[in-house]
């Protein structure tokens, strides 16, 4: 019996520790590299297009993309044109991978067609978007709520929702002057380590009636003295769908392990990304005591 | 000459008259084990010098109608001596048949060969019967027999990934398998995330696994029915059995309450992983336990009552204290519980020698919860299912070769999926949800008849009408069932089966990972029932010497309204699962081969499966057909037991499976985020389930040393090794950095390598 009492813990130890089997390597064919399009409108001035290439899944991206990787993925020599109302504008290269136009008129309900030809890879993509009507915030203010020992700050904002089905994007920035970044050095957008405290919320008017609409949101850890910048844009449904996909992926906190894999939607034919044209209406608020 | 003609005619007339006058009578009763008094299920009774025969039903009851006069009944079942009974039938007779258990003998080889022939000649198709007593030397983790793990070694039944509880049958999904324990549904069949099944082997009498050709009495799932029956308990004397293993111990006691009248069986099992870790100074506050009980009471010759109970739980509970930066002590509690309770009360009633009825009252409760407390904050997430049901099954032994079965069932399911309760700051992130209570009433009526059309050609046909009422909506449908056998020789037959099945609940599980806590979700106004149509064609041959049974089957199955999550579905802390579900179609086809021998010095089986399974959802994969996750092309298993000597037995399992499929990340790109403050790394995935993982194979060994083999007390040591050559069984693909070059690469880890264990088993 004594032997058994000694033997069992020994074997138990063996069981618990066990042998870890060597993982088995596997080769997985990689997706073809495609052009990636992204667009932004700097109010009243510029239509800005960024062009890059998709890359191998085994390329490290857990740190900032290094200069080498950026040089590889940013499309330096492309012919980029935007067609609108029978006119074709050729966008100028403002930085490697960035093409802009200050002459293209940006008008609501105008359809813009983007054509890109990358001479180095011979690949081309097209995309089309319609500029949504410009929207302005009727009001925006921050309320302080005290609950026990907690002080919470709530953002209240209102805008006028036009008739029909509409989609919006609200961005909030804490102590970030994002437009300065984009204009002064567009490549800074390719900053993985950005620790900007921002929040993007896609909104659909499916649940509220046309007319003045008020929304509220908890700002979380905003403190007195912080600067809150908020932008509200009227966007199209395809871009809204993309934002919702992103938002759902972010909600899957444990990401790839529990979440369902998703290939993000895109309106770029033959490529990835989004060509969208929308006016952000910008407000800046200082959080008071 | 004329006189001779007159006499002959007169004799002939007399004979015809006598024949016309000859009455038929019925002999009926139970087939019982002589030593324990327990019913013997599926035993065969043949009538000497006649083609008439009958099989005892799943309660051991038999009934056969014969002409008046002398008859000799031959009764047989594998593992028992053959018995003959001479009987004069001048009225209906009730006779119990008592068979004596014997060790394997040449005589039994003949019985098994006959049983194989009987199997070949029956209309049963795509059915496998497993008895724990026959498979107890098959190596399993922890040295403890696991009937669910053994079932996964059979053709057509494929396990999920290592560490997952589900299994797939003929290209179906894990939720399409109905597991019945004494007629009650068991929703969670595994402990420790799939490594142990909840069934204590000593409490189980046998298990029928239906993969196709479903008889009309079964319904509710598309792909398989596992009908597990508990033992009755020894009616003659107190007996016991059990085992002490590294991870758990178990004990079963059985005996008479009133000799030959009432008996009980009580089984319990508990792990002590938590205690053992504690001894080693480590913390693993996890354990599981199971308890089975059954009471049997023979009220009188016509009535029997049975009560079965099962309780099992996985428990993880940890309380600790954490000191915050400010010096405050924070109480941290974490809890997890997952388990089933089932109750079945059954009443066997013999209306007359030809009509047998079983009525069951069934109750199942399944629940899980996860709870956490962090100081003033707490969260509770839970899910529950309560089932209350009644079913009556009638067997009418109309005449030899024609048995009619019919019955009715009704079950009320109450689902409370995803109850969420949060307190404190966390309340802002997660709103309380009482859980949407969904009540469904599922009913079914069926009728089936087995008829011999001509010698060597039998058909079993019938139908089931099932219906489910939920949220003011009624789903109903006809489920035709046909099975036929055509004997091509003395020992071989071709079989055909067709079955339509309907399923009124779904298991909502991620395509990435399957957990015991995956959510069972019933049909609702929006979520429609699943439906399948399966055609099977088979060939069986019973070899006499040695007593092998060979079986080959091809099948084709279509499935409607199977469920998947939409792309990018939110699975964590989501209280509106219905919005995340999509329904589509699927199909599966393949071929299965099995060569098996139940007993003998060398016994076991060789199984091979070739299978294809795919799905089609209009909103998934661009509307293109895609492979099912467990579309494993080849599966092979070799299961062997060899009696080395009087004291030593060797068990061996070698199993090979093609890899399962997954959606691989095959690229990525940078996309400036909508706020233009940085970029998102956006993954690019292959088409759905386009990539196949590597094949897995492993060898498990079992060595049994029989120590003490007296008449009253038997003991043995079981030494087992799982995954003997330590090969990873891929369960996922991850991207890691190469240790030498630092470059990223894909690799497939396995959960467990070689695991050795030892167990001490006893019987008295």
Q: Residues of A with CB below 8 A from B246's CB?
A: 8, 11-12, 15
pLDDT band at A7 (very low <50, low <70, confident <90, very high): very low
Chain A contact present for B566, CB below 8 A: yes
**A26 dihedral zone (left: phi>0; alpha: psi -120 to 50; beta):** beta
Q: Where are the domains of chain A?
A: 35-130, 137-258+280-286
Chain B contact present for A289, CB below 8 A: no
Q: Residues of A with CB below 8 A from B674's CB?
A: 169, 171, 200, 243, 246
What stretches of chain A show up as alpha helix (H) in DSSP?
2-17, 67-73, 178-184, 237-251, 255-258
Say yes or no: B79 and B218 in one domain: no
Whole-number Å distance between alpha carbons of A40 and A100:
10
Q: Residues of A with CB below 8 A from B760's CB?
A: 4
8 Å CB contact of B727 and A8: no
What is the structure's pLDDT at B157? Answer: 93
Chain B contact present for A198, CB below 8 A: yes
Q: Residues of A with CB below 8 A from B685's CB?
A: 261-263
8 Å CB contact of A248 and B569: yes
Chain A contact present for B618, CB below 8 A: no
HSE (CB half, 13 Å, CA atoms) of B522?
28
Q: For residue B622, give the chain A residue with the closest CA.
A: A263
pLDDT band at A115 (very low <50, low <70, confident <90, very high): very high
Between B172 and B139, residue with greater pLDDT: B172
Closest listed residue to residue B407, CA positions, set B369, B359, B370, B374: B359
Chain B contact present for A9, CB below 8 A: yes
* Per-residue pLDDT reduced to its tens digit, B660-702: 888 888 999 988 888 877 788 888 999 888 999 999 999 999 9
8 Å CB contact of A260 and B246: no
Say yes or no: B647 and B749 in one domain: yes
Between B40 and B537, residue with greater pLDDT: B537
CATH topology of domain A137-258+280-286: Immunoglobulin-like (2.60.40)
CA B312 to chain centre: 17
Measure B114 CA to nearest chain A CA, in Å: 43
CA B321 to chain centre: 43
Q: Residues of B with CB below 8 A from A28's CB?
A: 664, 666, 686, 691, 733, 746
Between B11 and A73, residue with greater pLDDT: A73
Chain B contact present for A216, CB below 8 A: no
8 Å CB contact of A272 and B513: no
- Asked if residue B255 belongs to a domain, the reply is yes
Task: Answer whether A35-130 and A137-258+280-286 agree in fold.
Answer: yes
Residues 6+ apart with CB under 8 A from B167: B148, B151, B152, B157, B158, B159, B160, B174, B177
Q: Which helix (H) or strand (E) holds B106?
A: helix B106-121
Whether the per-residue pLDDT at A4 is higher than 60: the answer is: no
Whether A114 and A49 have beta carbons less than 8 Å apart is answered as: yes
What is the structure's pLDDT at A189? Answer: 67
Whether the per-residue pLDDT at B351 is higher than 70: the answer is: yes
Tokens of B681: 């790394």
**DSSP class per residue in B301-360:** TTEEEEEEEEEEEEEEEEEEEEE-TTS-EEEEEEEEEEEEEEEEEEEEEEEETTEEEEEE
What is the structure's pLDDT at A194? Answer: 63
* Per-residue pLDDT reduced to its tens digit, A15-54: 544 577 889 999 888 888 899 999 887 766 778 899 999 9
8 Å CB contact of A26 and B683: no
8 Å CB contact of A15 and B755: yes
Chain B contact present for A5, CB below 8 A: no
Closest listed residue to residue B499, CA positions, set B172, B180, B231: B172
Say yes or no: B232 and B131 in one domain: yes
The chain-wide mean pLDDT, for chain B, equals: 85
Whole-number Å distance between alpha carbons of B198 and A115:
62
8 Å CB contact of B664 and A28: yes
What is the structure's pLDDT at A61? Answer: 74
Chain B contact present for A256, CB below 8 A: yes
Between B6 and B170, residue with greater pLDDT: B170
pLDDT band at B180 (very low <50, low <70, confident <90, very high): very high
Say yes or no: B578 and B651 in one domain: yes
Choose among A24, A60, A181: nearest Cβ to B748. Answer: A24
* Per-residue pLDDT reduced to its tens digit, B423-480: 776 666 666 666 678 899 999 999 999 988 888 899 999 999 999 999 889 999 999 9
Chain A contact present for B664, CB below 8 A: yes
CATH topology of domain A35-130: Immunoglobulin-like (2.60.40)
> Region B124-142: what's the mean pLDDT?
82
pLDDT band at B17 (very low <50, low <70, confident <90, very high): very low
**DSSP class per residue in A199-252:** EEEEEEGGGS-SEEEEEEEE--S--TT-EEEEEEEEE-HHHHHHHHHHHHHHH-
Chain A contact present for B7, CB below 8 A: no
Choose among B681, B688, B755: nearest Cβ to A18. Answer: B755
Query: How many domains are contained in chain B?
Result: 2
Q: For residue B571, give the chain A residue with the closest CA.
A: A259
- Tell me which residue range forms the domain holding B59: 20-102
Whether the per-residue pLDDT at A188 is higher than 70: the answer is: no
Tokens of A102: 């200050």
Say yes or no: B520 and B624 in one domain: yes
CATH of the domain at B273: 2.40.170.20
Whether the per-residue pLDDT at B144 is higher than 80: the answer is: no
What separation in angstroms does the CA of A21 have from each of A161, A218, B160, B696?
A: 60, 48, 19, 12
B662 pairs with which residues across the strands? B691
Between B272 and B280, residue with greater pLDDT: B272
Measure A35 CA to nearest chain B CA, in Å: 9
Whole-number Å distance between alpha carbons of B705 and B727:
27
Say yes or no: B77 and B144 in one domain: no
Between B252 and A256, residue with greater pLDDT: B252
Choose among A15, A21, A52: nearest Cβ to B669. Answer: A52
Say yes or no: B507 and B642 in one domain: yes
Measure B438 CA to nearest chain A CA, in Å: 25
Q: For residue A149, give the chain B residue with the closest CA.
A: B425
Chain B contact present for A245, CB below 8 A: yes
8 Å CB contact of A263 and B567: yes
Say yes or no: B92 and B133 in one domain: no
CATH of the domain at B59: 2.60.40.1120
Q: Which of residues 176-195 of A touch B (CB under 8 A)?
A: 176, 178, 181-182, 189-194
Q: Residues of A with CB below 8 A from B247's CB?
A: 15
8 Å CB contact of B667 and A263: no
Between B412 and B93, residue with greater pLDDT: B412
pLDDT band at B622 (very low <50, low <70, confident <90, very high): confident
What is the structure's pLDDT at B16? Answer: 43
Chain A contact present for B728, CB below 8 A: yes
Between B216 and A188, residue with greater pLDDT: B216
Say yes or no: B94 and B150 in one domain: no
What is the structure's pLDDT at A220? Answer: 79
Whether the per-residue pLDDT at B106 is higher than 70: the answer is: no
CA B177 to chain centre: 8
Say yes or no: B90 and B132 in one domain: no
8 Å CB contact of A191 and B678: yes
Q: Residues of B with CB below 8 A from A260's CB?
A: 510-512, 565-569, 571
- Asked if residue B669 belongs to a domain, the reply is no
* Per-residue pLDDT reduced to its tens digit, B557-590: 999 999 888 776 666 556 667 777 889 999 999 9
8 Å CB contact of B685 and A262: yes
8 Å CB contact of A57 and B735: yes
Q: For residue A177, give the chain B residue with the closest CA.
A: B677
Measure A60 CA to nearest chain B CA, in Å: 7
8 Å CB contact of A61 and B572: no
Chain A contact present for B726, CB below 8 A: yes
Please report the ipTM that was assigned to this predicted complex: 0.88
Chain A contact present for B754, CB below 8 A: yes
Any idea which of A58-62, B96-100, B294-298 has the lowest mean pLDDT?
A58-62
* Per-residue pLDDT reduced to its tens digit, B59-86: 889 988 888 889 998 888 877 888 888 9
> Region B596-602: what's the mean pLDDT?
85
* % of chain A exceeding 70 in pLDDT: 79
HSE (CB half, 13 Å, CA atoms) of B746?
19
Whether the per-residue pLDDT at B306 is higher than 90: the answer is: yes
Whole-number Å distance between alpha carbons of B233 and B219:
29
Q: Which of residues 141-170 of A touch B (CB under 8 A)?
A: 150, 169
Mutate to test the interface with A, among B273, B669, B725 (most CBs of A within 10 A): B669
Q: For residue A151, give the chain B residue with the closest CA.
A: B425
* % of chain A exceeding 90 in pLDDT: 26
8 Å CB contact of B669 and A190: no
* % of chain B exceeding 90 in pLDDT: 39
């Amino acid at each position: 019996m004594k032997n058994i009492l000694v033997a069992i813990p020994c074997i138990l130890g063996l069981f618990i520790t066990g042998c870890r089997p060597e993982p088995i390597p596997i080769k997985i064919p990689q997706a073809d590299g495609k052009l990636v399009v992204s667009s932004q409108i700097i109010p009243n001035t510029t239509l800005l297009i960024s062009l890059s290439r998709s890359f191998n899944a085994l390329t490290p991206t857990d740190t900032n993309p290094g200069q080498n990787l950026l040089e590889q993925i940013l499309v330096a020599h492309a012919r980029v044109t935007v067609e609108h109302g029978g006119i074709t504008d050729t966008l100028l290269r403002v930085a490697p991978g960035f093409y802009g136009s200050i002459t293209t008129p940006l008008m609501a309900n105008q359809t813009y067609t983007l054509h890109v030809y990358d001479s180095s890879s011979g690949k081309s993509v097209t995309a089309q978007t319609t500029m949504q009507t410009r929207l302005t915030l009727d009001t925006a203010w921050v309320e302080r709520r005290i609950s026990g020992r907690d002080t919470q700050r709530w953002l209240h904002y209102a805008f006028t929702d036009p008739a029909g089905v509409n989609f919006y994007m609200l961005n909030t920035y804490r102590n970030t002057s994002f437009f300065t970044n984009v204009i002064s050095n567009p490549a800074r957008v390719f900053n993985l380590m950005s620790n900007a405290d921002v929040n993007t919320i896609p909104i659909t008017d499916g649940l509220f009636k046309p007319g003045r609409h008020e929304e509220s949101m908890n700002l979380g850890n905003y403190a007195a003295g912080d600067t809150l910048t908020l932008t509200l844009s009227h966007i199209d449904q395809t871009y809204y769908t993309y934002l919702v996909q992103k938002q759902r992926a972010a909600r899957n906190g444990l990401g790839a392990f529990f979440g369902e894999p998703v290939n993000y939607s895109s309106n770029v034919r033959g490529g990835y990304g989004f060509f969208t044209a929308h006016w952000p209406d910008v407000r800046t608020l200082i959080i008071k005591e | 000459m004329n006189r001779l003609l007159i006499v002959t005619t007169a004799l002939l007339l007399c004979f015809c008259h006598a024949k016309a006058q000859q009455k038929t009578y019925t002999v009926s009763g139970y087939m019982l084990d002589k030593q324990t008094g327990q019913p013997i299920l599926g035993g065969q009774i043949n009538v000497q010098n006649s083609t008439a025969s009958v099989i005892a039903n799943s309660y051991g009851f038999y009934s056969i109608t014969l002409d008046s006069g002398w008859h000799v009944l031959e009764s047989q079942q594998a593992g028992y001596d053959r018995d003959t009974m001479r009987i004069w039938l001048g009225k209906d007779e009730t006779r119990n048949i008592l068979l004596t258990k014997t060790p394997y003998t040449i005589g039994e080889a003949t019985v098994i060969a006959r049983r194989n022939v009987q199997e070949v000649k029956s209309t049963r198709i795509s059915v496998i019967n497993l008895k724990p007593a026959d498979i107890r030397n098959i190596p399993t983790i922890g040295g403890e027999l696991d009937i669910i793990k053994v079932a996964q070694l059979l053709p057509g039944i494929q396990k999920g990934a290592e560490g997952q509880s589900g299994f797939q049958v003929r290209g179906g999904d894990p939720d399409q398998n109905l597991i019945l324990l004494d007629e009650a549904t068991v929703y969670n069949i595994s402990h420790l995330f799939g490594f142990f099944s909840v069934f204590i082997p000593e409490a189980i009498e046998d298990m029928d696994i239906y993969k196709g050709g479903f008889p009309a009495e079964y319904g509710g799932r598309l792909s398989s029915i596992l009908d597990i029956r508990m033992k009755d308990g020894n009616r003659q004397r107190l007996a016991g059995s059990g085992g002490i293993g590294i991870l758990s111990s178990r004990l079963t006691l059985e005996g008479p309450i009133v000799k030959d009248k009432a008996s009980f069986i009580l089984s319990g099992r508990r792990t002590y992983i938590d205690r053992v870790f504690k001894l080693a100074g480590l913390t693993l506050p996890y354990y599981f336990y199971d308890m089975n009980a059954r009471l049997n009471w023979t009220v009188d010759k016509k009535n029997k009552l049975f009560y079965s109970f099962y309780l099992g739980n996985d428990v993880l509970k940890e309380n600790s204290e954490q000191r915050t930066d400010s010096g405050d002590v924070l109480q941290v509690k974490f809890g997890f519980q997952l388990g089933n309770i089932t109750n079945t009360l059954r009443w066997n009633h013999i209306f007359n020698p030809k009509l047998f009825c079983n009525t069951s009252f069934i109750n199942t409760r399944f629940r899980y919860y996860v709870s956490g407390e962090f100081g003033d904050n707490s969260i509770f997430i839970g899910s529950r299912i309560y089932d209350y049901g009644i079913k009556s099954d009638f067997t009418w032994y109309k005449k030899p070769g024609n048995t009619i079965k019919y019955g009715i069932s009704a079950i009320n399911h109450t689902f409370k999926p995803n109850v969420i309760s949060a307190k404190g700051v966390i309340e802002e992130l997660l709103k309380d949800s009482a859980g949407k209570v969904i009540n469904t009433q599922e009913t079914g009526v069926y009728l089936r008849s087995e008829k011999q059309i001509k010698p060597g050609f039998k058909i079993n046909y019938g139908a089931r009408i099932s219906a489910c009422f939920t949220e003011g909506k009624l789903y109903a449908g006809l489920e035709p069932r046909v099975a036929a056998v055509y004997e091509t020789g003395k020992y071989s037959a071709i079989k055909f089966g067709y079955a339509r099945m309907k399923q009124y609940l779904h298991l909502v599980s991620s395509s990435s990972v399957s957990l015991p806590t995956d959510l069972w979700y019933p049909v609702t106004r929006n979520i429609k029932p699943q439906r399948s149509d399966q055609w099977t064609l088979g060939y069986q041959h019973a070899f006499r010497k040695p007593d092998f049974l060979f079986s080959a089957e091809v099948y084709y199955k279509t499935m409607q309204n199977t469920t998947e999550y939409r792309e990018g579905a939110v699975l964590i802390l989501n209280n509106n699962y219905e919005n995340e579900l999509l329904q589509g179609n699927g199909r599966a086809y393949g071929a299965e081969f099995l060569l098996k021998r139940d007993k003998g010095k060398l016994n076991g089986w060789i199984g091979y499966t070739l299978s294809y399974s795919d799905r089609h959802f209009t909103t998934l994969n661009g509307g293109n057909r895609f492979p099912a996750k467990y579309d494993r092309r080849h599966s092979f298993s070799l299961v062997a037991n060899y009696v080395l000597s009087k004291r030593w037995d060797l068990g061996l399992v070698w199993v090979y499976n093609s890899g399962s499929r997954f959606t691989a990340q095959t690229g990525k790109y940078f996309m400036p985020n909508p706020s233009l403050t940085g970029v998102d790394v956006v993954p690019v995935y292959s088409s759905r389930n386009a990539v196949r993982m590597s094949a897995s194979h492993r060898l498990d060994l079992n060595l049994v040393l029989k120590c003490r083999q007296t008449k009253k007390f038997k003991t043995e040591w079981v030494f087992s090794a799982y995954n003997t050559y330590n090969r990873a069984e891929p369960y996922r693909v991850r991207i890691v950095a190469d240790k030498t070059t630092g470059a990223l690469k894909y690799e497939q880890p396995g959960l467990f390598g070689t695991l050795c264990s030892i167990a001490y088993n006893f019987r008295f």
